Structures are given as C-alpha cells and as structure tokens.
Amino acid sequence: MKIGITCYPTYGGSGVVATELGKELASLGHEIHFITYAFPHRLTNFYENIFYHEVELSSYPLFEHSLYSLALTSKMLEVTEYEKLDLIHVHYAIPHATSAFLAKQILKKNNADIKIITTLHGTDITLVGLEPSFLPLVKFSIEESDGVTAVSRFLKEKTLTNYDINKDIKVIYNFVDTELFSPSKNELFRSHIAPNGEKVMIHTSNFRVVKRVSDAIRVLNEVKKELPAKLVLIGDGPDRSECERLARELNLQKDVLFLGKQDGLAELLNAADLFLMPSQSESFGLSALEAMSCGLPVVSSSVGGLPELIRHNETGYIAEIGDINRMAKYSVDLLSNDKKYKAFSENSRSRAVNEFDRNVIVPRYVDYYGEILNK
C-alpha cells in the first residue's frame, strides 16, 4: 500500500505514535509519505520506504495568520495525485481530518478518490474540539472520514457522547517497541542523579497544565519524609517555570532534575525505579506504556484511558486526581518493598510485551486499512 500520514511532528504522543506507525509500516514493505509542516522528530534514520513532503506555508503580507489548513490540503492533493496514494491516515481531528476531507472532494471533481482514516488521540476531542467554534467542524470531519480509530475505549465513548456521532469507531491501542524500551539498568546516569542510593521517580510530558507536573513534585515531597528519593522530569512546556518555582519553594531544587526535551528516553527510564503520571486528562498514556515496557511500575491518576493500561495493584497503582498523599503512599509502598516491587516490575514488562507490543498492534492497523479500502 501507498499511505500518506499527517500528524503534528512534535514531542506529543500523537506525533510519536504516527511516526512510529509509519516506520513499522515501512518495515513491512508499505510505502509511507509523511505530509507535515516539519520533519517528524522520531525519524532519526534513513528509511528506504519513507518519504517526507513539507507543507509550505505562505508569508504573503495580506494574511495576518498562517493558512495552514489550506496549505495542507494543497500538499495532500499534490502528493496523492503524483504518488498515487491508496489512503491518507491523519492523526488528530483538526485541522488534519478537515483538510483531508477537502482534498477528497477536490479529487472527486477530478474523477479520482482517496480513502481517509482519522485517528483520535485525546485533546482534539476532550478539549480543543469541544470549543463551540470547533465542535461542528470536528463532528463533521469525523463523520465524513472513511474510517475512524481511537486510542482507548474511553476516548471512543467520549467521542460518541460529546459529538452525538453515529459512526463506527474502532479502538486500536497505542503501541511500544519493546526491544528498544526494555529493562537495562543505566547505572552510570543513576549514579549521577542518585549518588547516595536514593530511589528515583521519573515523569515525562509536555508540561501542560493538564499533566499536573506540580503534583509529581508534591508527591516527591511526601515520599522524602519516608525514604531518600529523587525526581527526574523530562520535557518542556508552559508549566515548567511554575514547577521550577515550586521545587525551590519546597526546598527540593537539589532533588528535582529538570532535563528538558530528550531523545534517549529508554536510557533515562532505565535509570529510574518508578513512573509518575498524575494527569487530569489522559486518553491513553503512551509515556506510561514506555515506562512499563522498561519494567517500571506506574503510579497514576484514575482518568481517561489510564485504567485500561495500568492494572491497579498489579502493574502499579491508580489514585484520584490530585490525591497527593495516596500517590505518595503507593510510591513508598513499592519503593520500600523489594519483593512487591520486583513482582510489579515483571508484571509491567509482561503486560507491555503481551498486549501493546508493536508486533501485536500494528497488524491491526494494516487489517483496518484493508477493511476500509475494500468498502
């Protein structure tokens, strides 16, 4: 198959999943064409079957704001026509699904056609799409897609309810490369961040308010009352300055390490003992899955699709949003009990390998592509 993929080529979960999916499809022999405004950051090597088409944005002075949606439509038309694509798989509903729909209509006028599959990832449905100005457009774009997938049952139900949509949405979970994200203790980095044998907790996100990164710092503050511990924070975003201020206010500036955006995530995870995810909104929790694949138990909030990923009292613990004391109690329970920790660690790894490995999930996308193309 010749497949076009459009996503936000950034550090967010939707871009990561879309890029990793393209790489896996290319390894299976499919021809992949990324159509984005910047080079996807997870495309770190040359791949024989992967091609990149940059969406060119106009800087004409008449337009005060960028016409990205229209530029994307034009590029989709161009690539579909000249590369003879079989389908376009867009990740994130707006504006990608809308641009794809417009391209499809223009192709029909030219006696051509293209199948459109839209994958819903989270905030495109639970946050951005619910704004009154966007809601009708999101609803229309989803209903007009030839196929729609969601990364969790939670997100599927949320979409059907919030938008009153009569559409068959297929749940295909996010996946992980369990060979790359595998248990392999990084003693060198660990000795640098925890030279006195402290326990190491870790969190990675885009530091948006909904990620509640400050809660992870408050959890560390409580855990340190029971045992020596450090917290490693990976990522960057609008809430970082506030988190740095909080760490100083709690006198934790030497115990909280802000590493910013990092690419060697597997190595960093393997220097930690426990993954924290205190989010107030999480449709799946890809970063938690990557941690589980490295054998890290997860302590998280009980929101969105997280209970579909994390098994309470088996691969980690789930607490109510903002319940700092309970998250800290769960963390101490795991970090102070070697036997329990070992069992949870093995359970996390096994669940990632058996249920969410790339070789389990990617064939479901391939089957779905065939289903949509044969309609």
Residue pLDDT, tens place only, 169-185: 999 999 999 999 999 98
Distant-in-sequence, close-in-space partners of 373: CB < 8 Å, separation ≥ 6:
1, 86, 87, 115
Q: Averaged over 260-264, what is the pLDDT?
A: 87
Rounded-to-integer distance, Cα 348 and Cα 311, Å: 9
Give residue-wise pLDDT tens across range 38-87. 888 778 788 889 999 999 877 666 566 578 889 999 999 999 999 999 99
* Domain 2-175+357-373, CATH among 3.30.420.10, 3.40.50.150, 3.40.50.2000, 3.90.1150.10: 3.40.50.2000
Q: Is the pLDDT of residue 259 over 80?
A: yes
- Confidence at 129, pLDDT banded by 50, 70, 90: very low
**Contact in structure between 343 and 316 (CB atoms under 8 Å):** no
Greatest extent of the chain over all pairs of C-alpha atoms, in Å: 69
pLDDT at 64: 61
Q: Which of these ranges, 70-84, 118-132, 253-267, 331-345, has the smallest mean pLDDT? A: 118-132
Q: Is the pLDDT of residue 125 over 80?
A: no
Q: CATH 3.40.50.2000 residue ranges in the chain? A: 2-175+357-373, 187-355
φ, ψ for residue 147 (rounded to 5)? Answer: -145, 150
Distant-in-sequence, close-in-space partners of 295: CB < 8 Å, separation ≥ 6:
182, 183, 345, 346, 348, 349
Q: Averaged over 289-300, what is the pLDDT?
A: 97
Greater confidence (11 vs 241) lies with 241
Q: Averaged over 6-29, what is the pLDDT?
A: 88
According to DSSP, the residues that pair with 319 across neighbouring strands are: 301
pLDDT at 58: 73
Give residue-wise pLDDT tens across range 86-105. 999 999 888 899 999 999 99
pTM for the full model? 0.91
**Contact in structure between 90 and 96 (CB atoms under 8 Å):** yes
Rounded-to-integer distance, Cα 231 and Cα 245, Å: 15
Greater confidence (345 vs 8) lies with 345
Rounded-to-integer distance, Cα 16 and Cα 26, Å: 15
Looking at CATH, the fold of the domain delimited by 187-355 is given as Rossmann fold (3.40.50)
- 160-165 contacts, C-beta under 8 A, 24 or more apart: 162/125, 162/126, 162/129, 162/130, 163/125, 163/129, 163/135, 163/138, 163/139, 164/139, 165/139
Percent of the chain with pLDDT over 70: 95
